[in-house]
Every structure is written in C-alpha cells, then in structure tokens.
Structure 1
C-alpha cells in the first residue's frame, strides 16, 4: 500500500514509480540557489481549483525571474497524469519550474528548465488563526518582489519566529512601513466597516484567492501602516488552503468572534467557488 504522506510526482514528462527516486541533479539551479518559481493549487474531489489563473501567475513569475516561457501544455499533462494516478478528495498540487542544471554559483547555464508536478493530500485550515508581526520587512522594491519564487528562507525564519510565540502565521510590513502579507497568505482587514487589503505595490504576492476575493467581494486595495491591524475591526487571511480564515489574535490584539464582513466574505467564497472549478 502506498504511503499516503508521500506525494505522487511527475518530473519532466513521467510519473515516478517511487517519489523518493533521485531525479533532480545536485547542480540544478533551483537546488543550489533557489532559482525557480512555483504554484500551489488546491484540489477538491480530484479537480484542481483555478488552475488557469495559477498557470498565468506561474508564467508571470517565470518571466519576472528571467526564465524561459513555461510550457503550459506540459504542465497540464503533468497535472492530469498525477491526478489520474492519485485521486485526492482534498489535496494540493505543487508545480515547480527551475532554471535547470547550471555551473555552481549565481550564473545560469544553457540547460533546459526542470519541471515538476507533485500531488499530495492536504488538511484544510479550519478555525481561527493567531498571527504575529515580524521585525523583518519585505522589500517591495526588490528584483523578485511579488514573484512566487522557490527562495523561501525568509518565510521559514518568520514562521519559526511566529511558532515560538504561539502563532501559526507571520505577517510582514514592507520598507515603507506598510502592511504587506503573511508568509503564505494575503491579509484582509476591516476599518469603518470597509473591507481592505494591501495593493500589489506593497510587494505582496498576487494571491489567487486574494484576486478572486477582490473581484467577488469588492475589497478596496490600499496601502496603510502596519499598525492598522491594531485598530482593525476584523482581520482574516486568504490563501489556497485557507480560503477565508478569520484571525483571532494579532500580537496583543484579540477579537472575540468572527465579524460580519469576514462571515460575508466566507459565505461569498463558498458560493462562488462551487459555481465553477476554474473561475
């Protein structure tokens, strides 16, 4: 019987018989310097959600990093093959594109990109979240600001910081001192009854869940100081596996219950998500 904790993996055109099979070279630029981009896609009852939007963002991230155009047909084949091999009632696809093998160092070689699609079971986030703000800013003016790259060390450090303080997510400000994003989530908040979220100019990732919530719920995109969370009436996180997750605590601020704007956003999300798997 297959280990359900192990992913089903497709690499450069074939599904691996054993996901532990060594297939990525030690000189792959994604491994040596984090030169790659990726997408995490929710799977519900064997069907990927909003795959087209995720692939568009994958292409934008690759272009921003200077990688060759992503072979969308190949990605879709990989997705179909792993999901045919493994039915997921609820799961996650990880689509990764790296620059491929290259000389040791920052410079790229002339090899073809490495393309990996992996599918694994996942747990949907439930309940309310506790978050902390971290002392390290996002650089909204950096070369990879807003791109979904495989360089996640900053997020690893921030999540460890949050865990040490009893929280499950860390929230960044940016160099301007404005609210930016979580390590793997976008942040929405309510002031004077109005739903708001940072603009993409803040350096935050253009989250797919964020994008749909802005379209479906009419959230206003605005940049405000990070301390706005201390006076917000409601706060929630949005991401691929969170959907709309209310925040119960942010640093020393607590909310007794889920607010009406958050409830309405969650209800709208559930209704609209059910209408079509690829909105």
Structure 2
C-alpha cells in the first residue's frame, strides 16, 4: 500500500515521526477523524465530511476547525499522489485532528492541535461478512455519535469478528435495539420497506447512510429511519432465516448487502439491490453533494 502524508501545512515522508509522546491524541485518544473514498483524484462528499469533522470537534470542545486548511491539505495530498514518480491512484483519504501535547492526565493541555491528512491506495472492501457482537453501544455516552479516535471498543469488536471469519460486527445499544456496525451503518429490508436505526439508537450519522436515505426517497424507494425501538436485534434472526435482508453502508463500502451473518450465507433483498444501484448512480453524478444546511 502506498500513502501520502500531510501534517499542519507540509507534506512529509510516510515514516516521519509526527506526534510528541505527550500528545493527547496518543495518550488518551483525544481526537476526531473522517475517512472518505476517492475516485480519479476527487474525494467523495468532501463538504459533508468536513461538516461532520467540525461537528465532532465541537462536541469534544476543540476550537472551530479551519475548513480552508483541511481542503488545502487534501489538495496537497492529491496533487502529490498524481505527481509522484509512479503516480499513486488514491482510493481513500483520512483526516485526523488531535488536540496536541498535554499533561499526563485526562485534562486537555494548550496544544497546539495537529491536523493530519493521509491518502492511500488501499482497496475498497469487496464484500461484508458480519457477526453479532456480544457487547453493546452506549447511546448515552458523552461521545455517542462522534467520530472519535477513541476506537478501542471498535478494535476489540473487530478482532472478535475476525476471529469468527468475518470482517464486521453488528452491535445493539443498551436497550437491545439494533444500532450499527463497528465501522458501518446498517439497513434492514423487512416487510416491503428498508429501515435503518435512528440516530437516537447511538449510531453514527454516517455520510453514506444519510445520502442513501435522501437519494432512496428521491427515487421513490420505501426507505426511512426507523422509530425508536422499532428495530430490535431480533430482526437479525429474520435476516438469517431469509424473511428479511440486510446491507451495511460506509464511505469505503457504499451501500453493500451482507454476504453472511453469523456464518450463514444470505440472499440479497430486491429493494436493497435497487438502493445500492441508486446510491452508485447518484454518487457518480454528484461527487460532492451539498450538506443539508447549505441547501
């Protein structure tokens, strides 16, 4: 895998040390991030990703982010990739904002923060095999809905999935309601419509999730966010039995039907297949759909 790295205004070699040993992004996971797909040098839904990065930073109490600086870093990375001796065909970008050096405690120091942009040619996941996680997501957490670098919970659940021969774990919230995957949102096709857990479940407000809801509704698909408590984890039993269907969504997967759940191979639901096609078509026509507040 080839990568290009930009930090605080400068391109640096991929193996350059970036953080002080006392950086809170390292010592306590005090940071936020975004990952987005790239096609032909163009990051998908960049405006929405910057808006969510700003929201996450605000939730953690960071100073407002400089959107122009973020865009400049991304442009520097994409330019460097295309101008390399052997051009790198970027497939994804990751933005990471960490709070900077601080005391060896949970209290944040004076920084300064660091903004890191990494571009890579890592391949997109071709399929999704999922298992149910034995842990839950706390929908009342102080960072519920924040794309935080404090991802140890997700690492443990991803390792659990890998040990079962899967690459994603599906999580309930503390009420036993369907919530999300470790790195995905989830859609369920059941009784003639497609439902996705509401944000009140504690799930992340995924960029792809939001666009799938918008674009699916626009073309007349029966799709909506479920009511609170409407999707119990037991709906996954119906998915395994074949009377319901499931797909996951993320910036690198798009809308991707589940291949298997808990080791059981799954069929693909007809509405979810249409949703996948709809998303791909709209995304191809509009690589930077404007965030709702800017419309």
Aligned to 2:34: 39
Aligned to 2:198: 199
Aligned to 2:235: 228
Mapped to 1, the partners of 2:98 and 2:209 lie a distance apart of: 25
Aligned to 1:241: 252
- Of stretches 257-266 and 180-189 in structure 1, the one that deviates more from structure 2 is 257-266
Pair 1:15 & 2:14 matched: no
Q: How many residues align?
A: 272
Pair 1:268 & 2:289 matched: no
Mapped to 1, the partners of 2:17 and 2:89 lie a distance apart of: 28
State whether residues 90 and 119 of structure 2, in contact with CA within 8 Å, keep that contact through their aligned partners in structure 1: no
Shift of 1:248: 2.4
Aligned to 1:99: 99
Aligned to 2:183: 184
State whether residues 189 and 269 of structure 2, in contact with CA within 8 Å, keep that contact through their aligned partners in structure 1: no
Pair 1:28 & 2:23 matched: yes
Q: Output the TM-score relative to the length of structure 2.
A: 0.89
Q: Could you list the per-position Cα deviations for residues 200-219 of structure 1 after superposition, in whole angstroms to 9, with x for gaps in the alignment?
A: 11110110000100101132
Shift of 1:99: 0.9
Mapped to 1, the partners of 2:264 and 2:188 lie a distance apart of: 13
Mapped to 1, the partners of 2:234 and 2:265 lie a distance apart of: 14
Secondary structure (helix, strand or coil) at the match of 2:255 reads: strand
Q: Could you list the per-position Cα deviations for residues 64-119 of structure 1 after superposition, in whole angstroms to 9, with x for gaps in the alignment?
A: 11111111111110000010000354511110111111011101111221111110
Mapped to 1, the partners of 2:95 and 2:18 lie a distance apart of: 16
Aligned to 1:52: 47
Secondary structure (helix, strand or coil) at the match of 2:37 reads: strand
Aligned to 2:168: 169
Shift of 1:46: 0.5
Secondary structure (helix, strand or coil) at the match of 1:132 reads: strand
Mapped to 1, the partners of 2:276 and 2:111 lie a distance apart of: 45
Mapped to 1, the partners of 2:153 and 2:196 lie a distance apart of: 22
Secondary structure (helix, strand or coil) at the match of 1:60 reads: helix
Q: Extract unaligned runs of 5+ from structure 1.
A: none
Shift >6 Å, 4+ stretches: none
Shift of 1:252: 5.7
Q: Extract unaligned runs of 5+ from structure 2.
A: 83-87, 218-222, 290-295
Aligned to 2:85: none
Shift of 1:194: 0.5
